[in-house]
Amino acid sequence: MFNALIIRKDDQQPKPQQQVALEQVDEQQLPEGNVTVQVGWTTMNYKDALAITGASPVVRSFPMVPGIDFAGTVVESRDPAYQKGDQVVLNGWGVGEKHWGGMAGLARVPGDWLVPLQAPFTQKQAMGIGTAGYTAMLCVLALEKQGITPDSGPVLVTGAAGGVGSVAVALLAKLGYQVTAMTGREQEADFLRSLGAAEIISRDGYSQPGRPLNKERWAAAIDVAGGQVLANVCAEMRYRGVVAACGLAAGMDFPATVAPFILRGVTLVGVDSVMAPYADRLQAWQRLAQDLDITALEKVMQEVPLEQVQELAPQLLAGQIRGRLVIPVAD
């Protein structure tokens, strides 16, 4: 038996109701997979908060254990790539949506979904990175693939005080980029400067409809917002600038024109972390081990118990949580 946060849905009610509770679960209830992992740490991402609150239909089947990330130790494996005692990390693959996730003492998954834990990270630090930090690294790799270097010019990071944004700021600063951090939380300015941001700007100026083209400012951008924010960022890109888009915190729409793309040659690169192939995942984690300052990582981590996840989920959706929430799970 092990502890697990379980999301259930009562379809017998006139209006289906979702319930979330910490329960004792038998190992026999675990889903299919050829590797069983004792989960040491997990984390709560934006998508997890949507699942737990029911604010969006993230969960595809019930009952469900949320947690799209986990780090732990292999306790049983039928995959030759992994042996008992190996330390592993999982991000995405529909875990916490269609397949039981990391907010439980045990997880069972296909071995193809796992990546070896990279030294020098601990399991806790890997969850301080989590899907957010791994996505941030995928965005940095996307910019590099398009030829962006520190000499190209300033790089903008939207949603900079959040999980993806804070790690992106830290990564870019350590790599030598001039980073401008956009945030809707002015009180986080000192925090963002401590991560390496050279300039802080307010989100307010980007949240309303703007001109198709504005003054050229950014050589590159990492955007977690989408919506009107992304449209206005694209309008300010320098000639042949590159935007890596990976989020929709400000909306799924994209109320822009083609002007930045056909008049300035701007490139908009979509970054997906959920179904990224193994080679890309491994490269991202290897680069994180190389390029992410662990001291900076510690600044973005808040440790919280599994029992507080339901209470904190609405705060995360409201943009009231700084950085990354890390959750110890091992019984």
Give pLDDT, residue 162: 86
The full set of domains in the chain, from first to last, is: 2-117+300-328 (3.90.180.10), 131-270 (3.40.50.720)
* Contacts with 59 (C-beta within 8 Å, 6 or more apart), sequence order: 7, 9, 51, 66, 96, 97
Q: Which two tokens stand for residue 298?
A: 């510690």
pLDDT tens-digit map of 56-102: 889 999 999 999 999 999 999 999 999 999 999 999 999 999 999 99
- Under a CB-based contact definition with an 8 Å cutoff, are residues 136 and 171 in contact? yes
pLDDT tens-digit map of 127-169: 999 998 999 999 999 999 999 999 999 999 999 988 899 999 9
| Rg of the chain over all Cα atoms, to the nearest angstrom | 20
- Burial class from Cβ neighbours inside 10 Å (0-12, 13-18, 19+) for residue 262 reads exposed
Q: How far apart are CA 80 and CA 74, in angstroms?
A: 12
Give pLDDT, residue 331: 61
For the chain, what percent of residues have pLDDT higher than 70?
Answer: 98
Instruction: Give the pLDDT band (50/70/90) at residue 43.
Output: very high
Q: How far apart are CA 160 and CA 188, in angstroms?
A: 9
pLDDT tens-digit map of 234-279: 999 999 999 999 998 888 999 999 999 999 999 999 999 999 999 9
Residue 13 has pLDDT above 70, yes or no: no
Q: Which two tokens stand for residue 67?
A: 């947690």
**What DSSP string describes 113-179?**
GEEEPPTT--HHHHHHHHHHHHHHHHHHHHHHHTT--GGG--EEESSTTSHHHHHHHHHHHHTT--E
Average pLDDT, the chain: 94
Give pLDDT, residue 280: 96
- Under a CB-based contact definition with an 8 Å cutoff, are residues 51 and 30 in contact? no
Sole residue written with tokens 């010019």: 153
pTM above 0.85, yes or no: yes
Q: Which two tokens stand for residue 60?
A: 């595809």
Residue 296 has pLDDT above 90, yes or no: no
Give pLDDT, residue 297: 82
